[in-house]
Amino acid sequence: MPPWGADNFWVTILWTVRIVPYFVLGILLSKHSENIRRLLHRVPGRIRIALIAVPLYIFTIPHHGYLSIRRDALYDFGAAMVIVLALDIPSISAMLNRTVLQWLGRISHSLYLIHTPILLLIFYAFLGRVPFSFIAAAAIVASLTIATLMHRFVEMPAIKLGQRVVRARPLDFP
């Protein structure tokens, strides 16, 4: 059962525990990206290009339901491969460095947090009263605008505060 159908605190906790590995994988990819790149450059170019077929194949595997941990792990692996390979292919890397995509990347966490409440509010307020295209456009514009503001006035100050706290009292991780 996905979390939006959960009426039990423990189901929500279990769902949270279940998705933590996705975030851990992203953190590890970020932390070790240079080492991964160096390792990937040791692989011959033709094999690196052929590796693109692996995540494409993985994503063709049907996903049935929310309780397939093995399939989710496989999808996670495929997504990680896409990220690593995208960073290694100059044309994809250049595309990812475009200003609008960099901006979307910066606000993505705030956008993730705010888009559902905004969609619900706009749909509730306007559905059946105005054309759907207006609702969709308003939801996109409002979500991007509010996410940008949240990033600037909530997320960045929180990050800076966290950095000051860590500098004042460094954490000792292995």
In tens, the pLDDT along 93-122 reads 888 889 999 999 999 999 999 999 999 999
Rounded-to-integer distance, Cα 145 and Cα 152, Å = 11
Rounded-to-integer distance, Cα 46 and Cα 43, Å = 8
Exposed/middle/buried for residue 163 (C-beta within 10 Å: 0-12, 13-18, 19+): exposed
Quickly state the pLDDT bin for 167 (edges 50, 70, 90): confident
CB 150 within 8 Å of CB 113 = yes
Over 80: is that where the pLDDT of 67 sits? no
Over 70: is that where the pLDDT of 77 sits? yes
Over 60: is that where the pLDDT of 55 sits? yes
Average pLDDT of the chain is 85
Q: What is the DSSP string of 3-52?
A: GGG--SHHHHHHHHHHHHHHHHHHHHHHHTHHHHHHHHHTS-HHHHHHTT
Task: Give the position of tokens 């979307």.
Answer: 104
Q: For residue 58, give the nearest of 41, 72, 44 by alpha carbon.
A: 72
Quickly state the pLDDT bin for 155 (edges 50, 70, 90): very high
Return the SS3 of 161: helix
List all residues 6 or more positions away from 81 whose beta carbon is below 8 Å from its beta carbon: 51, 54, 55, 58
Terminal Cα distance for the chain, rounded:
36
